[in-house]
């Protein structure tokens, strides 16, 4: 933009406007940070070797609610601790997982649910977890026959 123009006040303003427009365009295309936090939280809640306490908390919550990990609402039972805390002045402390889910678009939620289902396979292959959390880790096919 400035290769053939003098670098005066008008040119700098035009560059700033174009950079701002490009930034808004990218923000509209890229998923929100909360989407990536949710995916990382799902990963943490489905990795018993790295985060046994989170896995137990997540599966216990599902179990207590009488819900399976294959349920459409299973994401609501992710512990809020997977979203970290508010570390910077502008950060918001997450009080409920529902707050995070409300910020996401339906395609983002669909991708997160699919990610949870893929991670659930890892939990179902674990020898101990299906014994302790049978209801939460019940397969979708088993639900249809019940």
**How many CA within 13 A on the CB side of residue 85?**
1
Give yes or no: residues 12 and 47 share one domain.
no
Backbone angles phi and psi of 111, in degrees to 5: -65, -40
Encoding tokens for residue 94?
Answer: 């997450």
| Sequential pLDDT tens for the chain (146 residues) | 556 666 778 877 888 888 888 888 876 666 667 888 888 889 998 898 888 888 999 999 999 998 899 988 999 999 888 876 544 445 555 567 888 888 888 888 999 999 999 988 888 888 888 888 888 888 644 443 34
Give yes or no: residues 45 and 105 share one domain.
yes
Give yes or no: residues 87 and 41 share one domain.
yes
Contact criterion met (CB below 8 Å) for 101 and 78: no
Q: 16 is in which domain, residue-wise? A: 1-30
Encoding tokens for residue 30?
Answer: 């890229």
């Amino acid at each position: 933009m400035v290769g053939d123009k003098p670098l005066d006040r008008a040119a700098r303003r035009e560059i700033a406007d174009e950079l701002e427009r490009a930034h808004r365009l990218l923000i509209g295309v890229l998923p929100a940070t909360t989407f990536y936090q949710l995916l990382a939280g799902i990963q943490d809640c489905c990795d018993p070797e790295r985060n046994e306490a989170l896995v137990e908390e997540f599966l216990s919550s599902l179990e207590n609610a009488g819900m399976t990990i294959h349920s459409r609402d299973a994401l609501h039972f992710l512990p809020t601790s997977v979203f970290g805390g508010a570390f910077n002045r502008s950060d918001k402390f997450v009080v409920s997982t529902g707050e995070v889910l409300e910020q996401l678009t339906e395609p983002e939620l669909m991708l997160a649910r699919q990610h949870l289902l893929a991670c659930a396979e890892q939990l179902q292959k674990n020898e101990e977890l299906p014994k302790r959390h049978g209801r939460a880790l019940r397969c979708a096919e088993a639900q249809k026959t019940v």
